[in-house]
Structures are given as C-alpha cells and as structure tokens.
C-alpha cells in the first residue's frame, strides 16, 4: 500500500482559477462540468487539486510523465470522491497494477486530500 497526501490554500486556487489556461491544464472536462454544479466550486477545485497532487505522491513519481488533466477526481451519487484516469496517468497505474482510494476534506481556508494506492487483486 502506498499513500500520498496534499494540502492547498483555497484562496490560491481561487486566484489561479481566474486563468483559463490554468483550468484547462489542470482539470478534465468532467471535472469542469462537476464544478459548474457546485454551490462553492472553488472548494471542490482545491480539493481536486490536492487529490491530484496526492495521487502523484502515492505513485511515487510526482507530476511527471502525465498531465494533471488526465486525472479526474469525480463524485459518486452519494458525493464520495473517486479517481478516474486516462492517457499516460492510466498507463502508469496499469503498469504498476494499482487501484486508488481518495478522501478529500476542507475548511474555509484549506483543502486536503489523501490517496491510497493498492495492488489490484488478480
């Protein structure tokens, strides 16, 4: 089992989210649609950012050889976050034989996420 954790200031993501290039580089189309459905989208953006960074730490590569927008942090029908991968991020996870669990929390000022990577059952 591998673990990654990250924390980000929500205000920092609020400032960055005003830049379209940042949004396109960091978030997938599915995530952008998710944010539109939120009452306070900046908190979700910050949580997703933290989860993406935590993912990169759990796989042990940092953000290298894949793009952040290849990692979608989505919500199930009960609101629980889950990770959906595509492109090089998916190739990395498949090559390592890993599945992931994610947890996100936030206060008014900070968002934090933990990603647990575990070997797939064969």
pLDDT band at 121 (very low <50, low <70, confident <90, very high): confident
Element (H, E) at 116: strand 110-119
Tally of domains within the chain: 1
pLDDT band at 74 (very low <50, low <70, confident <90, very high): very high
Mean pLDDT, all residues of the chain: 95
pLDDT at 64 over 90: no
- Residues carrying an active site annotation: 57, 106
Instruction: Give the number of residues written for the chain.
Output: 122
Residues 6+ apart with CB under 8 A from 43: 10, 106, 111
pLDDT in tens, 5-53: 999 999 999 999 999 999 999 999 999 999 999 888 999 999 999 999 9
Domain with 47 in it: what CATH number?
Answer: 3.90.470.20
Domain range for 66 is 2-119
């Amino acid at each position: 089992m591998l673990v990654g954790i990250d924390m980000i200031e929500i205000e920092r993501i609020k400032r960055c989210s005003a830049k379209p290039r940042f949004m396109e580089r960091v978030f997938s189309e599915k995530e952008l649609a998710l944010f539109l459905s939120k009452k306070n989208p900046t908190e979700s953006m910050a949580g997703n950012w933290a989860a993406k960074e935590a993912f990169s730490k759990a796989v042990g590569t940092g953000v290298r050889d894949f793009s952040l927008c290849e990692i979608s942090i989505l919500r199930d029908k009960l609101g629980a976050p889950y990770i959906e991968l595509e492109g090089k991020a998916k190739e990395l996870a498949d090559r390592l034989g890993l599945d992931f669990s994610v947890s996100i929390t936030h206060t008014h000022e900070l968002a934090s996420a933990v990603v647990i990577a575990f070997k797939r059952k064969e």
